[in-house]
């Protein structure tokens, strides 16, 4: 049991220091993410889906070329168990992500978009620097910059080429309510 614990701990440290790319999918279970502030350069948004053996999950996809998040909280709860990660509490040392892609069902907060283009063909989006996006003829939008205060989202999927969790804290809870926010 000691070796797997050491390996898991090493992976968490490597991820926190940005040495590993992050790809977080929780078996089709939604997880919650909140942050006091997200500032992102190169933003795209379009529809997407994940085809699993149990069916298709439709979601909104958001791509951000580079992002900083202050006071990040991510939680996933199932069967009375909650895994909660917090990072970036110090505004001068926020969480940082590069090539961020999020598949979500809900997004809320106070958003400001700079140089936004709404109603584009999703296959033509390019603001986040990624090669592919939604299908031809699907709705898309993009902006050079996005700022979201009081961010709250429910997501199925997150990936980033680099995800740096400054001041990270990971806690596992049994029972009680320990999600990042309540509905």
pLDDT given for residue 23 in this prediction = 42
pLDDT higher at 97 or 56: 97
pLDDT given for residue 9 in this prediction = 40
Domain residue limits at 98 = 2-174
**Within a domain: 59:** yes
pLDDT given for residue 59 in this prediction = 85
Query: Residue 141's beta-bridge partner residues?
Result: 45, 118
Share of the chain above pLDDT 70, in %: 80
Q: Average pLDDT of 46-74?
A: 84
Q: pLDDT per residue over 122-146, tens digit each? A: 999 999 999 989 889 999 999 999 9
**Cβ atoms of 46 and 142 closer than 8 Å:** no
**Within a domain: 81:** yes
Distance between CA atoms of residues 157 and 108, nearest Å? 17
**Cβ atoms of 142 and 125 closer than 8 Å:** yes
To the question of pTM greater than 0.85 for the whole model, the response is no
Query: Domain count of the chain?
Result: 1
**Within a domain: 153:** yes
**Within a domain: 180:** no
pLDDT given for residue 86 in this prediction = 98
* DSSP strands (E only) in 115-138: 117-121
DSSP H or E segment with residue 152: strand 139-160
Taking Cα atoms as reference points, which of 10, 56, 68, 28 lies closest to residue 155?
A: 28
Q: Average pLDDT of 63-85?
A: 96
pLDDT higher at 79 or 88: 88
**Within a domain: 183:** no
pLDDT given for residue 6 in this prediction = 36
**Within a domain: 37:** yes
**Cβ atoms of 67 and 40 closer than 8 Å:** yes
**Within a domain: 181:** no
Contacts of 92 (CB under 8 A, 6+ apart): none
**Within a domain: 182:** no
pLDDT given for residue 98 in this prediction = 98
């Amino acid at each position: 049991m000691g070796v797997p614990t050491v390996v898991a701990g090493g992976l968490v440290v490597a991820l926190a220091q940005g040495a590993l790319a992050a790809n977080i999918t929780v078996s089709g279970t939604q997880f919650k993410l909140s942050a006091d502030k997200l500032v992102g350069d190169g933003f795209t948004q379009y529809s997407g889906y994940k085809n699993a053996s149990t069916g298709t999950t439709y979601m909104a996809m958001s791509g951000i070329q580079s992002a900083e998040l202050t006071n990040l909280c991510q939680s996933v709860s199932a069967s009375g168990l909650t895994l909660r990660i917090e990072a970036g509490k110090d505004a001068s040392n926020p969480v940082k992500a590069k090539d961020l892609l999020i598949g979500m069902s809900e997004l809320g907060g106070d958003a400001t978009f700079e140089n936004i283009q709404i109603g584009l063909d999703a296959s033509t989006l390019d603001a986040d620097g990624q090669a592919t996006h939604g299908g031809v003829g699907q709705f898309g939008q993009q902006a050079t910059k996005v700022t979201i205060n009081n961010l709250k989202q429910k997501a199925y999927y997150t990936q980033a080429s680099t995800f740096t969790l400054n001041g990270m804290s990971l806690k596992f809870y049994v029972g009680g309510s320990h999600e990042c926010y309540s509905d």
